[in-house]
Amino acid sequence: MIESVGQSERVTVVAEHTGSPFTRVLGGVALAGLALVAYLGLVATPREVIMGDAVRILYVHVPVAIGMYVAFSVTALGSVLWLWRRSVFWDVAAGASAEVGVLYTGLTLVTGMLWGRPTWGVYWVWDARLTSTALLFLMFVGYLAVRGIPAERSVRNRRAAVVGLVAFVDVPVVHYSVDWWRSLHQPATISKIDAELDGLMLFTLVVGIATFAAIYLWLVVHRFRVAWLEEQLDAHELAEAVAERRAEAQVPA
C-alpha cells in the first residue's frame, strides 16, 4: 500500500488481511474443537443401537443445522434492525450471515441425505425437518439473489431486508405446516431423524455444536470485514468520481 508523504512515496506495511487477535484465537479454538469432535465422533464413540455407524454423521449434521438457524436468525434480525434503525452495520452483518447460512444450510441437506441413504435406504423420505430445510435453503438463495441485483445500494439493501423479514415470518409457519402435513400419514418413528444418545455421544454432540458455532462466527466476522472493505472501496470510488467530475466542471472555458 503506497502513501505519498510530501515529495516522496513510501511503501507502508500494515496488516493487509482481515484477521485480528480475536479471529486468531477464535480460529484456534475452532480448530481444536474440530480435532476433538473428529476424534470422538469418528473413533472414540460407539455405534448407535439402531442406525450403527451412521450416527457419526449426526455429529456434524446437527451442529450445522443449528448453525443454519443461528445464521438465519442473525440475517432476519439484521434485516429488521436495518429497516428500523438504518445502521449500516446491521445490513452488512445480515448479508454476511446469509452467505455463511446458505453454506450451512446446504451442508445440512447434504449430511441429512448422506445419513438417510444408509438408514432409510433412500436419500429422501420427505422428513419434515429436511423438507423445511430445503425451503429455507431456497429462501436464503433468493435473499442472496436480491443482494446481488444491479441497483443503487440503498435500494438494494432495503429490498434485501424486506426479503429477510418476509422469510423470517415464514419459517416458523413453514416448519409447522410441513410437520403437521407429514404427521398426518407417517407414523412418527420411521421417517424422522432420531437417535438415542447418552454419555460420551452426547458430549461429542455438544462439543460439535460449540465448534461449528465458533466456525460460523469466524466465517461471519471475516465475511463481514470483506463486505465492509467493499463498501469502503465503493464509497471511495464514488467520491473520487464525483471529485473528478467537479474538477472538470471548474476548468475555465
Partner 1 sequence: MIVALESAEFVLTAWAVVLGSIGLYGARVVRRGRRLSGRVAPERRRFL
Partner 2 sequence: MVAAKDLRIEWRSRVVVNQVVPFAAVVLLLFAFAGEPDSGFLRRLAPGLFWIAVLLSALVVLQRSFALEMADGGRDALRVAGVEPAAVFVGKAIAVGAVLVVLEAALALGVTILYDASLTRALPLVLVTCLLATLGVVAPGLILGALASGLRVRETLLPLLFLPVVAPVMIGATRSFEVALATDEGPLGEGWRWCGLLGLFALAYTALGVVLFEPLLEDS
Residues in touch with partner 2 (CB under 8 A): 83, 135, 138-139, 141-142, 145-146, 149-152, 154-155, 158-159, 162-163, 165-167, 169-170, 173-174, 176-178, 180-181, 184
User: CB 116 → partner 1: shortest distance, Å?
Assistant: 9
Surface-to-core class of residue 17, CB atoms within 10 Å of its CB (0-12 exposed, 13-18 middle, 19+ buried): exposed
Residue 28 interacting entry, from partner 1, partner 2, none, C-beta within 5 to 8 Å by type: none
Distance, CA of 6 to CA of 238 (rounded, Å): 25
The yes or no reply on residue 11 touching partner 1 (CB under 8 A) is no
Nearer to partner 1, 20 or 177 (CB): 20
Select the residue interacting with partner 1 from 8, 16, 49, 187 (CB under 8 A): 16
Q: What are the CA-CA distances from residue 235 to residues 53, 153, 154, 232, 238 (Å)?
A: 53, 10, 12, 5, 5
All 3 cell numbers of residue 157? 439493501
| 197 interacts with, out of partner 2, partner 1, none, CB within 5 to 8 A per kind | none
Rounded to whole angstroms, how far apart are CA atoms 82 and 210? 28
Q: Which is nearer to partner 1, 20 or 154 (CB)?
A: 20
Least Cβ distance, residue 27 to partner 1 (angstroms): 9
Binding partner of residue 150 among partner 1, partner 2, none, CB under 5 to 8 Å per kind?
Answer: partner 2
Binding mask 22-51 for partner 1 (x = CB under 8 A): ------------x---x---x-------xx
Give the C-alpha separation, 98 to 236, whole Å: 25
CA distance 111 to 114: 5
CA distance 206 to 14: 39
115 contacts partner 1 (rule: CB under 8 A) = yes
**What's the grid cell of residue 215?**
466456525
DSSP for 117-161 reads: HHHHSSS----HHHHHHHHHHHHHHHHHHHHTSSS-HHHHHHHHH
Window 183-222: residues binding partner 1 (CB under 8 A): 190, 215, 218-219, 221-222
Shortest distance in whole angstroms from residue 9 CB to partner 1: 14
Q: How far is the CB of 93 from partner 1 (least distance, A)?
A: 10
